[in-house]
Structure 1
């Protein structure tokens, strides 16, 4: 373009060359004579943004949109500037104006769909993005954004098709590769996920989430090749305060101080900058004589968390507490879902509620204490919590770690999970319940066990079991299990089948360790009652590390199967089984390191009298121990709620509490 062109063209040339000051001077001169020139105003906004002046950029884009409200590009640019300034509601309206001005202007549909996805308003986002694709079937960004919205709303098959289409249209599209890998992972298509995430990491090792997702899928497959190098890279990511998915971290040998650093980074960079973070609400006494508490979770259905928590909901003193449940997950129609719905005062199906709508509903319900049962797991709603809809906010049960977030006031634990002196590893103030932090449902039912042959188990063999997900199995612990099998002739290890690929990898690792792969027996998916019956066949449960047995641990103890654990890793997720065993009056099954863990497993497996005496102790303790005393647990929990609320009403900041 010739340097002697019109001023707009000259400014565009200077902008393209990175000479922002020269472009700014040309545009200022143009706007002095033509203050409503929309093209000049939009270019001036772009230049201001490039020069780091966000306020000026926003002002120019607003002037452009108001100068010509029928110009869809001007309205959309204003929407982009508003969104960048954190004025999301106004940005949404500007994009809607762009669509009215230009019903075929595809960027407005795509960008508005992206914003509504971030706001967790998935049905609206999906409808807009489907329109964008109808208007422009070849837009890779449209297919990618639609796939992301579909994935986040749980429509995985459709999400995968959209994301695959985005990559077909634009090979090497990193965002699409990342989200497609995650969609494969959520759909349990682990081999596809490994292929996609390995390719992504090879192309862009610094790409956000690539490393954490790759490590996670490799663990799902028990594919430990090259893991040491990847974990070293993960530690560098944490130390450099780059974002990595917090839930994935708990499966790796990462200390509590590094987990705190990683979760704080995530809370700051992924949530604080996007979620309209609010200050703590003022604490007032409402007119209700009952304390209003709310539980927030995606998993209020047939799920491990719901199986633990349901009796808590039922046993709450409804004369003192008004209980709300906010369900952000699907209704699976299960008996457990119906039981939860009938156990609370108010059950709110919040699956289709966006972030602001759900936060507004919780605030409108005047919730005093909001208990997050999800954290960073699954489809949690941390962005809702960042908006501070409740006076006090508590992290409990679903995410076994600190959330690293300033809007979370407390974390519920116990003296074993978070010992005295370890509070500094948690962003929240610590509430220590007197027994275990984990509740249990005394109504869970196990079927009558079948014969060993029906389970594929050899008659007469000693049966070790670990029914945790394969993602929790590490090479270090698996090799200990192989040493245990070697020391106990004829014994077998009973594991949960997650995928055929993981089974094959574990059998290969067993053979490498000199153990016949046939000594690994894999349990297939069964109903909860039929699965629990397996514990009556197993002789001894072995914990995983550093992410140990949680629901599986209490299931084993409830059904009379002793569990051995190790506290070599000093994180919340690693110490849960130790908490359960102390509460079940079996602290002697908690070992300090893997050598002691291995030795105890061998000793119990080769001493029938000692193991029999242990099982008798467990049977005697079960009716009275703290772990399965649900009424006592709920009284302690309610005492904690009342204490932190009264403290708040007195104008005192949250502080550690040991009951």
Structure 2
């Protein structure tokens, strides 16, 4: 607060209420603090400090319009209140009102030109608007104001600007800011930057270099930062390393952090969280217990729920998430965790899962924008403006694997493409996607309201969700409606349950006619299969020969552990019992962890499986993993959550898949792929049929080997593996959505006209 500018005196009642409000504010009791600040204002209407604190409470409560009014009330009391102008600008920016934010920042500068915060915020907002020259002047003003106080503060201004620039994907300008920070790191006598600060800057530099494609140089910068001692610096380095798929390095840094700070509960917590992400479950549990022994860990139950899911115990995970969601002040993101976990449950029917999704997300539609409120030019005679929202154009993510060829083949004469990238992980695949996008917009730091306004300014006609309820989801964006037509595709294997999600893209198998009640969206069906696997990387086809027909028959699964439910393991145990001499190869990230191997070994033994017939393999690089399919004769699909990418990869590498047709999108994916491949005889109707097919296909090794030798060529001759045709089909589906939306809008308008007459 600005004591020189703000009035803090008042009557005794006002002072008492104000002091009590400050105590509540410090404890995060926003509602109580708000009521007390208002009481202070009632006693003394000149207390601009109390009015400002009211605004701050409302910001914390995310009541943005009342907060905006509270800032205005503060400024009516004291028009020279620097903090009120500055924070009003921040709020306007969060609300997507950039012009109003810039005006507020300029008024703050007018009140205190010697302060650096407002010109820095103005520079950031001006760059977002593409006003480069004025932004550079504001940036220089901020640096000059900070430098007048200390060189280290000026260096921090450059670092803040670097991070703002990275937020919008401008790594080149971010690097310029970091270079300026390094120059300012020299004092008047040439004193070196503090080693810990230097390490922090090296992390920033490493991220910039990686985003610019200079991976080796970026890794060198991150390696130099690993010598840091500061806990926060090492935690940040570990998180960044994991984001760029350097999980071994991330674990090493986190373990070093614990060694340097053994008394810090947060060092142990960060290690536990990281180990869980890397599927080291036993060590993660031990690190979590150490953290909890030192201090309460508010996120412990959520982490344990994640651990349960990763161990294949979806029902325990689901119970934990639901228990937390029922508590007052529960984290709203728990709804996505509940929805996603429900797809793995053996105990919920398809109707149960659909009803759960609707119940979880129905409240998000409150205050949604109407379709009629969007102003768009008629589509006839122009390109459809198509927006994609995703965080997953990176590494080996399935969305990236399936969407890259679609981005490549999209007909730009019919579609103007906007990609709203909500992610923070970058690699060569991210750059490929960016190069293939007509408009690439970095939006990872934009909230849903800001993003909705940006999408509307871009005039998007159809907004395609590629995440559903997976990580980095933006469910509120769609529930409140951000485009005239909204559809979900690829990223989530089922209905989202979201209000105002108009369409789901499926096919005749995963979304069959007659099952519309399972979807809160309307269904548009693609010919063939809903997903098209046409990898751009070359994976050499295994040279299947006589030795493959003579070795012990090997069943296999490369699916992640959460899919290996009790039902799935019991079914596979029956397969092994029915095919004497056969073996089972289980490969998953978790299987690199000895405790996971022991746990699954124990579960299989409990089902009567001789572990001498089972092999466990952990994670390796994608190319090497694809080559390992040569060790599998027949793949086994899990239930109820079928393999998606793993099934298509198995087929691509010559491994047919036994699957069971379930009753939901997620449990019919295998049936969709095998039907599209022209292999419906590999699709079972029930568990007994699943085992029968395994016995039948395993009994004729000669026919199996013949199928394996020609399976990729077979697929390449099928329409579902033709990515050009698949893209044309997806384009036609999008055009259908637009046409039916226009028709329904016209009917609504006609109905409205009749009513008004």
| 2:570 paired residue number | 479
| 1:551 paired residue number | 645
| 2:601 paired residue number | 507
Which one of the candidate residues 296, 301, 308 is aligned to 1:218? Answer: 308
Using the TM superposition, give the Cα deviation of residue 376 of structure 1 relative to its aligned residue in structure 2, in angstroms: 2.9
Using the TM superposition, give the Cα deviation of residue 642 of structure 1 relative to its aligned residue in structure 2, in angstroms: 1.8
* Residues 36 and 64 in structure 1, CA contact (< 8 A), matched pair in contact too: no
**Map of 1:484-563 to 2, 5 A cutoff?**
484-498=575-589, 499-501=592-594, 502-563=596-657
1:397 partner SS: coil
Q: Distance in 1 between matches of 2:422 and 2:578?
A: 48
1:650 partner SS: helix
Using the TM superposition, give the Cα deviation of residue 527 of structure 1 relative to its aligned residue in structure 2, in angstroms: 4.7
* Residues 674 and 682 in structure 2, CA contact (< 8 A), matched pair in contact too: yes
Which one of the candidate residues 663, 675, 684 is aligned to 1:582? Answer: 675
Q: Distance in 1 between matches of 2:512 and 2:293?
A: 41
Using the TM superposition, give the Cα deviation of residue 70 of structure 1 relative to its aligned residue in structure 2, in angstroms: 6.8
2:555 partner SS: strand
Structure having the larger proportion of residues in helix: 2
* Change beyond 3 A, Cα 1:190–1:411: same
* Residues 440 and 630 in structure 1, CA contact (< 8 A), matched pair in contact too: yes
Q: Distance in 1 between matches of 2:317 and 2:292?
A: 10
| 1:396 paired residue number | 489
Q: Distance in 1 between matches of 2:503 and 2:747?
A: 7
Q: Distance in 2 between matches of 1:644 and 1:202?
A: 55
Q: Distance in 1 between matches of 2:89 and 2:356?
A: 32
Structure 1-normalised TM-score?
A: 0.72
Using the TM superposition, give the Cα deviation of residue 541 of structure 1 relative to its aligned residue in structure 2, in angstroms: 0.5
1:427 partner SS: coil
1:413 partner SS: strand
The superposition leaves residues 8-31 of structure 1 with CA deviations (integer Å, 9 ceiling, x where unpaired) of: 344368878999999799746632
2:668 partner SS: helix
* Change beyond 3 A, Cα 1:68–1:468: same
Q: Distance in 2 between matches of 1:161 and 1:484?
A: 42
* Change beyond 3 A, Cα 1:283–1:458: same
1:371 partner SS: strand
Q: Distance in 2 between matches of 1:92 and 1:184?
A: 43
Number of aligned residues? 616
* Residues 37 and 50 in structure 2, CA contact (< 8 A), matched pair in contact too: no
| 2:736 paired residue number | 643
* Residues 45 and 58 in structure 1, CA contact (< 8 A), matched pair in contact too: yes
* Residues 449 and 530 in structure 1, CA contact (< 8 A), matched pair in contact too: no
**Map of 1:372-391 to 2, 5 A cutoff?**
372-382=465-475, 385=478, 388-391=481-484
Higher mean C-alpha displacement, 189-198 vs 15-24 = 15-24
| 1:321 paired residue number | 415
Using the TM superposition, give the Cα deviation of residue 540 of structure 1 relative to its aligned residue in structure 2, in angstroms: 0.6
* Change beyond 3 A, Cα 1:187–1:421: same
The superposition leaves residues 156-200 of structure 1 with CA deviations (integer Å, 9 ceiling, x where unpaired) of: 9899979x89xx899889xx9998765554455544544566799
* Residues 504 and 523 in structure 2, CA contact (< 8 A), matched pair in contact too: yes
| 1:130 paired residue number | none
Structure 2-normalised TM-score?
A: 0.64
| 1:437 paired residue number | 530
| 2:210 paired residue number | none
| 1:463 paired residue number | 554
| 1:332 paired residue number | 427
Higher relative contact order at CA 8 Å, sep ≥6: structure 1 or structure 2? 1
Query: 2:438 matched to 1:346?
Result: yes
* Residues 283 and 649 in structure 1, CA contact (< 8 A), matched pair in contact too: no
Q: Distance in 2 between matches of 1:272 and 1:197?
A: 37
**Map of 1:35-54 to 2, 5 A cutoff?**
35-38=45-48, 41=51
Q: Say what the alpha-carbon RMSD is for the aligned residues.
A: 5.7
| 1:428 paired residue number | 521
* Residues 213 and 248 in structure 1, CA contact (< 8 A), matched pair in contact too: no
The superposition leaves residues 464-510 of structure 1 with CA deviations (integer Å, 9 ceiling, x where unpaired) of: 11111223211321233233223333322122241323233223333
**Map of 1:168-187 to 2, 5 A cutoff?**
182-187=273-278
